[in-house]
Amino acid sequence: MSITDLLALRPASGGPSTYRRARLALAAWRQRRALADLPAERLSDLGLTEDDVRRETSRPMWDVPQHWLR
């Protein structure tokens, strides 16, 4: 993702700054990578399936939960 892409994602007013959005995107990417590295036993403990993990880790890094953007 380029800086131009990040700027295009920024709301016109009232939303998080481009810097904050970039930090959130990086945090989401790191968390998804950690999730992908968990063994099946740990996923089972969390109530997650391989399909859940595949779906989550295939999301783009800038696709963060909406409550993070407040």
- In this prediction, residue 42 carries a pLDDT of 96
Instruction: Locate the domains of the chain by residue range.
Output: 17-69
- In this prediction, residue 31 carries a pLDDT of 95
Q: Measured between alpha carbons, how far is residue 65 from residues 1, 7, 12, 45, 52 in Å?
A: 18, 18, 19, 23, 16
Low-confidence ranges of the chain (pLDDT < 70): 1-14
- In this prediction, residue 66 carries a pLDDT of 85
- In this prediction, residue 51 carries a pLDDT of 96
Residue 54 neighbours by CB under 8 Å, 6+ apart: none
**Number of Cβ within a 10 Å radius of residue 42:** 11
Report yes or no on whether pTM surpasses 0.85.
no
